[in-house]
Copies of this chain bind each other. A is one copy, B any other.
Amino acid sequence: MIKRFLAFLLILFLFTNTIYSQSNDSIIINKIFSEALADNESYENLRYLCKYIGGRICGSVQAENAVSWIESLLLNLEIDSVYLQELKVRNWVRGEKEYAYILSKIFGKQEVNVAALGGSIGTGKEGLMGKVIEVKSFEELFELGSEIVNGKIVFFNQPLNPTYLSTFRAYGEVAKFRALGAINAAKLGATGIILRSLTLSNDFYPHTGIMFYNDSVKKIPAISISTNDADLLSSLLKVEGELDFFFKTTCNEYSEKISYNVIGEIKGNEHPEKIILIGAHLDSWDIGEGANDDGVGIIQCIEVLRLFKKLNINPSNTIRFTAFMDEEVAQRGGKKYAEIVKSKGENHIAAIEVDAGGATPIGFSVNADDSVYNKIKNWSDKFLKYGLYLIVKGGGGVDISFLKELNIPLIGLITDSQRYFDYHHSANDKFENVNKREMQLGSASLAMLVYLIDKYGL
């Protein structure tokens, strides 16, 4: 009888303990959100990064300024440790503003909005003039064959599929034209490529992004064209049959430069050797301000550190923020980070990347085994209270992807993606297109996840 009574007491104890622990979590998570939403400083920091430092492609003065400024921000937080990780970056430079026009037989010279793709060779001062061949797929291109393509400029004009709910899915389907378009066109003797900008928006912004060459195929210049201008070009091609197109790009790649990842840590109370990594990328494309991609991720990660300090949340494990250099060009920051983790044999509980823009957070992607996924899925009720309704398998982020082989759980913050590609890699990726409160909800969501992982493990 007494045994039963003790068992009953034990159950009661465990039960109330769970209840207490849960309500304690609710209180802390609520404080995290309240503090994040009431703060103005992180938004002002994003303004500074965008307006005073600006677009910061790796290798640029702006990227170096960003490294110094982020280091000083972290030092001001009075966290336990701030340091740099040296690495080498490619040094592609856009040069003069690009110039391009359609030579229409009906309308004459029609200037259009273009931008060199990242990594492209330039046309040189004399520019490139040629007849345009429009295609919507590589299959179509190869079917045309070198007889038709040779000596021409290939125009990849496949729009993103608007019917997908996730714009990232739509982007993923056509990104190959940017990445491999120049190689495949050059194989058939093309002299250059024009890419329809990878956006769902109808506007006049050309969207840049990285493209690749292949040592066995001739390098040809590559540009993107705004969606409105792509529609114009396509219409004129239909009407006139053939058209001349001219573009001039003076971009060039110079010798590599030294740059840095910037790291800031709050050391764990109990397990300082165990690391929860939060990361975002500090570099951006040069033609915008790198606001949504990915200044906002940088600022949100720093805000997580500030929230932990301000609310006196002393983590059991080390919370490490890494501002990765060079996500956009060759991922040297992510690679260097993973290399050091391996050489030092560092222990990571999780690696979380924030690189999906500053819109309202809606969940997390979990690239890990089922037990980790299920553990995070079990926190759904806590997440749902703050609008985070989506926990999906896969994903993570580009910079942390190099940690995958170490079996570290990779997690990505998922945001409402509808507006993201309106800005992505274009001059439209500017501070004004990040909303303060949506950004703050992202910071708080990230801090909540880190808090739960730190407390309950993965």
- Give chain A's interface residues, CB within 8 Å of chain B: 33-34, 37-38, 40, 162-165, 167, 200-202, 360, 362, 384, 386-387, 389-390, 416, 418-419, 422, 435-438, 441
Determine how close the nearest CB of chain B comes to the CB of A31; give it in whole angstroms: 10
Which residue of chain B lies nearest to A437 when distances are taken between CB atoms in the complex? B418
CB of A371, distance to nearest CB on chain B (Å):
24
Chain A interface main SS type: loop
Partner of A38 from the list B162, B165, B390 (CB cut-off 8 Å) is B162
**Which residues of chain B have C-beta atoms less than 8 A from A436's C-beta?**
200-201
A360 engages B162 (CB within 8 Å): no
CA distance A437 to B422 in the complex (A): 10
CB-defined A-B contacts under 8 Å, sample of 21: A34-B163, A37-B164, A37-B165, A162-B437, A165-B386, A165-B441, A200-B436, A360-B360, A360-B416, A360-B418, A384-B389, A387-B389, A387-B390, A387-B416, A389-B389, A416-B416, A418-B435, A418-B441, A419-B437, A419-B438, A422-B435
CB distance from A40 to the nearest CB of B (A): 8
Q: Which residues does chain B contribute within 8 Å of A362, judged by CB atoms?
A: 387
Q: A167-B437, A422-B435 are in contact. List 17 more A-B contacts (CB 8 A).
A: A33-B165, A34-B163, A37-B162, A37-B163, A37-B164, A38-B162, A38-B163, A162-B437, A360-B418, A362-B387, A387-B390, A416-B416, A418-B437, A418-B441, A419-B435, A419-B437, A419-B438
- In the complex, how many angstroms separate the beta carbon of A313 from the nearest chain B beta carbon? 18
Q: How far is the CA of A118 from the CA of B40 in the complex (A)?
A: 31
Interface contact B165-A387, CB-CB below 8 Å: yes
A443 CB, min distance to chain B CBs, angstroms: 13
